[in-house]
Amino acid sequence: MDSLTIFLILLALGFVFGKLAEGRHYRSILAREEMLLRLPATSCKKPMGKTLPVGHAELVHGHVVISVDYFKQLLASLRNFFGGTIQSYETLLDRARREAVLRLKESCPTANEILNLRIETSSISKGNSGDRVGSVEVLAYGTAIYYREVSSQHSGL
């Protein structure tokens, strides 16, 4: 009976602290996304809108590894048993993807645009059999474009 009580207490603590950490991370993501809204990132291979001369282009990336808490693992195990969508992992992947794109944008804050954005995901297994997800890894990469300033003196105006 004591081990069941300890398990339930740990489960409740995992739920409460996991929700708090996830909420704090989402608030951080939303604030940083608002700050970097002016820097578009697209999967297109060509610039959006009117084309200006490119002064500089560079490969940029953002990378994040986020651990799966025990409560999410328990929910996922139950969902695997009964079948259906594993929402606890969906929120984990959403946070990881958004964090990786933010880190990519933060690596080139003066860029005008990010082209050819690609996102790679992988899971890092845990345990002897390697059948449980321990963490998710997300890599976002693309090409940061810096346009050259075109002065009106040289354009013949």
Binning pLDDT at 50, 70 and 90, where does residue 1 land? confident
Per residue in 116-149, pLDDT tens? 999 999 988 766 665 666 788 999 999 999 998 7
Cross-strand partners of 132: 126
> CA-CA distance, 35 to 57, in Å (whole number)?
22
Percent share of the chain, pLDDT over 90: 45
* Residue spans of alpha helices (H) in 108-150: none
Q: Which residues make Cβ contacts (< 8 Å) with residue 141, sequence separation at least 6?
A: 59, 60, 61, 62, 104, 117, 118, 120
CA nearest to 121, candidates 66, 73, 72, 71? 66
> What are the φ and ψ backbone dihedral angles of 61, each rounded to 5 degrees?
-150, 160
Which CATH number applies to 2-147: 1.10.10.10, 3.40.50.2300, 3.40.1190.20, 3.30.110.70?
A: 3.30.110.70
> CA-CA distance, 27 to 129, in Å (whole number)?
36
The per-residue pLDDT for 77 is: 64
Domain ranges of the chain: 2-147
The per-residue pLDDT for 156 is: 46
Can you tell me the mean pLDDT for 88-115?
A: 92
Contact 116, 45 (CB under 8 A): yes
Can you tell me the mean pLDDT for 78-93?
A: 73
> CA-CA distance, 148 to 154, in Å (whole number)?
13
The per-residue pLDDT for 157 is: 44
Per residue in 68-77, pLDDT tens? 776 666 666 6
Contacts 24+ apart (CB under 8 A), 91-94: 91/22, 92/66, 92/68, 92/136, 93/121, 93/136, 93/138
> Rounded mean pLDDT of the chain?
84
**Is residue 153 over pLDDT 60?**
no
The per-residue pLDDT for 31 is: 95
Per residue in 36-65, pLDDT tens? 999 999 999 888 777 788 899 999 999 999
The per-residue pLDDT for 111 is: 94
